[in-house]
Structure 1
Amino acid sequence: MSIRAVIFDMDGVLIDTERHLFDCWQQAAAEAGYDLTKEQLLGIRSLAAEFAIPHFRELMGERFDYQEIRRRRKELMSAYIETHGIDKKPCVDELLDYLQSHGYKTAVATATDPERAEKYLRSIGIYEKFDRVVCATTVPHGKPMPDVYLYACEQIGEQPSDCMAIEDSDNGALSAHRAGCHVVMVPDLAGPMPETEEYLTGVASDLSQVIPVLEEMK
């Protein structure tokens, strides 16, 4: 079994934004009269709107206006980033340099729209290190469906079975698994659920620890 390409999620894997997204979700919901807990928010990481809307309505009631609260969350997050910038996750450059020097193809598969994804990746100086940046907004269904990973594999000209996906969330990991990729989880806010652990190739404490997994798979 050999890996020819590595595909990365963005938020929580390459950029340190997940905890700030949680804060913004909670503020936006509170402004609308709802109390969202961190435990509830863990369940929507990387979850596409088509799945998040019924999920939230089941939790919070039919009157929960997901689109408006999400619009406000994005507004709050943009303001935070304008003030504080974006932090790169630890060991990003170490892993990307390893992949480049060993001939792996690389891609990003993110739920973020193309304009913001490029802006964020350029702001931490790594946009040019990827062969492709693919966004779930350009495919029929977002995570946890496999569309974005299948499209990323198509864009870099590799079969999913020859690709490794790096994810920090259960929904993202499920998306990559459904596409047929090998999945390594690098937990950010929470580790994998038991049902996720069953199909993971590995769990790494940080991105540098993905390198030994790749070495073992040569």
Structure 2
Amino acid sequence: MTFQAVIFDMDGVLIDSEPLWHQAEQHILGGLGVDFSKPPLLQSTGLTTASVIAHWYQHQPWPGPLPAQVYQRIIDFVASGITNSGSAKAGLPALLDVIAAAPLKMAVATNSPQLLLDTTLARLNIAHYFTACCHVDLVKHGKPAPDIYLLAAEKLGVAPQHCLVFEDSFAGVTAAKAAGMTVVAIPAAHEWQHSKFDIADHKIRCFTEVDFRQLAALIN
């Protein structure tokens, strides 16, 4: 299989933002009285923010702000953190340069809203690498549904089977596989051994593990 395009998830793949999401949920939802230790528990990594809020509001409803208002508070919290201290994942700049030199088309497909996509690309100064940028507001269903990956392929003008995807969450890997794409999983350290990532085609710990010669063979 040779590839014509590479699609990146954003949070936890392009940028080390997962700690910010955790802090936002703990600070804002916790401040509203949500007890994250009470069942039904939720693995929120890779899910849409709206679905995370809806889960906790259904099982531990709080008085006061509506879910839509809580959503905006969380987004603003994360956006501020990215603007002030966001940093690219290790090995990302070199990988982007190699792919751009191939040359291959690149896209971002994220479950985050446009504000966070724009904020991240500006903070990392990498917007110029991407032909298409797809955020959750553009699709009816976020990951783990395949919608956003299919949209990215459509915008790139590349068939899904010729797209290579980098994803860190199970929801994202599920979405990309459902779209018919080849997926490289980059699980968080605490999930590295989890069998759920066996559905991915490849698995790496970080971009510094990418074999550029092997990648060049795949994309040429």
| TM-score category, normalised to shorter length | 0.7 to 0.9
Q: 1:190 to 1:159 in 2, by over 3 A?
A: farther
Structure 1 alignment gaps of length 5 or more? none
Alignment correspondent of 1:70: 71
Range 64-73 or range 131-140, more displaced: 64-73
Q: Cα distance, 1:216 vs. partner? A: 6.1
Would the aligned equivalents of 1:176 and 1:182 in 2 still touch at CA under 8 Å? Answer: yes
Structure 2 alignment gaps of length 5 or more? none
Q: 1:26 to 1:90 in 2, by over 3 A?
A: same
Alignment correspondent of 1:127: 127
Where 2:191 maps in the other structure, the secondary structure is coil
Spell out, residue by residue over 1:184-214, the C-alpha distance to the aligned partner (whole angstroms, 9 max, x if none): 01123643642331x2111112113234563
Alignment correspondent of 1:98: 98
Once residues 117 and 127 of structure 2 are traced to their aligned partners in structure 1, the CA distance between those partners, rounded to angstroms, is: 9
CA RMSD of aligned residues (A): 2.5
Would the aligned equivalents of 1:184 and 1:210 in 2 still touch at CA under 8 Å? Answer: no
Q: 1:190 to 1:106 in 2, by over 3 A?
A: farther
Once residues 149 and 191 of structure 1 are traced to their aligned partners in structure 2, the CA distance between those partners, rounded to angstroms, is: 23
Would the aligned equivalents of 1:28 and 1:70 in 2 still touch at CA under 8 Å? Answer: no
Range 73-82 or range 165-174, more displaced: 73-82
Q: 1:177 to 1:103 in 2, by over 3 A?
A: same
Once residues 45 and 85 of structure 1 are traced to their aligned partners in structure 2, the CA distance between those partners, rounded to angstroms, is: 20
Q: 1:112 to 1:173 in 2, by over 3 A?
A: same
TM-score between both structures, scaled by the size of structure 2: 0.85
Alignment correspondent of 1:196: 197
* Letter in structure 1 aligned against 2:99: L
Q: 1:118 to 1:41 in 2, by over 3 A?
A: farther
Once residues 190 and 55 of structure 1 are traced to their aligned partners in structure 2, the CA distance between those partners, rounded to angstroms, is: 23
Alignment correspondent of 1:33: 33
Alignment correspondent of 1:156: 156
* Letter in structure 2 aligned against 1:75: D
Once residues 46 and 53 of structure 2 are traced to their aligned partners in structure 1, the CA distance between those partners, rounded to angstroms, is: 13
Alignment correspondent of 1:179: 179
Q: Cα distance, 1:57 vs. partner? A: 5.1
* Letter in structure 2 aligned against 1:186: I
TM-score between both structures, scaled by the size of structure 1: 0.85
Spell out, residue by residue over 1:101-125, the C-alpha distance to the aligned partner (whole angstroms, 9 max, x if none): 1222111001222243123212211
Q: 1:135 to 1:170 in 2, by over 3 A?
A: same
Once residues 102 and 114 of structure 1 are traced to their aligned partners in structure 2, the CA distance between those partners, rounded to angstroms, is: 28
* Letter in structure 1 aligned against 2:3: I
Would the aligned equivalents of 2:5 and 2:158 in 1 still touch at CA under 8 Å? Answer: yes
Q: Cα distance, 1:88 vs. partner? A: 1.1
Would the aligned equivalents of 2:49 and 2:71 in 1 still touch at CA under 8 Å? Answer: no
Q: Cα distance, 1:215 vs. partner? A: 4.6
* Letter in structure 2 aligned against 1:33: G
Alignment correspondent of 1:45: 45
Identity value in percent: 29
Once residues 9 and 190 of structure 2 are traced to their aligned partners in structure 1, the CA distance between those partners, rounded to angstroms, is: 15
Once residues 182 and 214 of structure 1 are traced to their aligned partners in structure 2, the CA distance between those partners, rounded to angstroms, is: 13
